[in-house]
Each structure stands twice: as C-alpha cells, then as structure tokens.
C-alpha cells in the first residue's frame, strides 16, 4: 500500500521509531511511536495496534470477511 501509507520515519533508539506526518488513506493519524518486536513477528503478525493508538478513536469496527479496520474519531 505505498500510495495509501505515507510518513517520515525517525529512529528514537534501539528498535523504537517515530512515524511523523503519518496519513493512512488520506487521513492524518498524527505522530505515532512504534517499535520492532520479535515476539510479534514470531507468531506471524505484521504488527500490533496498542490501546495508546486505538484510544484516539470513538468507534473501532473490524469487518472479518474483508479484514477491513474502520476507525472513527469523535
């Protein structure tokens, strides 16, 4: 999804990064601190969204058949 996911990556420390100016499908998500986790990749996941990220939204909807995550802000 390179055309839908844009931002600037800044390394903060070992395995920690700051995604700045992040926009997903044209929506500004603000800066997001992320880290690389071997445990997540060991179970085959590409990533994990934590409550610190999800708390920015009022409604969180996951449509299982299409694997589409919809986040709605207040």
28-22-38 Cα angle (round to 5): 135
Region 59-72 average pLDDT: 93
Number of domains in the chain: 1
To the nearest whole number, what is the mean pLDDT of the chain?
A: 83
User: How many of the other CB atoms lie within 10 Å of CB of 17?
Assistant: 15
SS3 63: strand
Structural domain containing residue 63: 5-72
- What local confidence, expressed as pLDDT, does residue 21 receive? 84
Residue 51 phi/psi, 5-degree rounding, is -65, -25
Name the residue among 15, 16, 46 with its Cα closest to residue 31.
16
pLDDT digits (tens, 9 = 90+) for 8-41: 888 898 888 888 888 877 888 888 888 888 888 8
């Amino acid at each position: 999804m390179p055309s839908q996911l844009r931002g600037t990556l800044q390394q903060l420390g070992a395995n920690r990064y700051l995604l700045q100016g992040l926009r997903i499908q044209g929506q500004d998500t603000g800066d997001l601190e992320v880290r690389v986790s071997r445990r997540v990749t060991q179970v085959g996941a590409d990533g994990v969204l934590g409550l610190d990220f999800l708390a920015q939204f009022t409604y969180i909807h996951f449509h299982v058949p299409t694997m589409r995550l919809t986040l709605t802000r207040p």
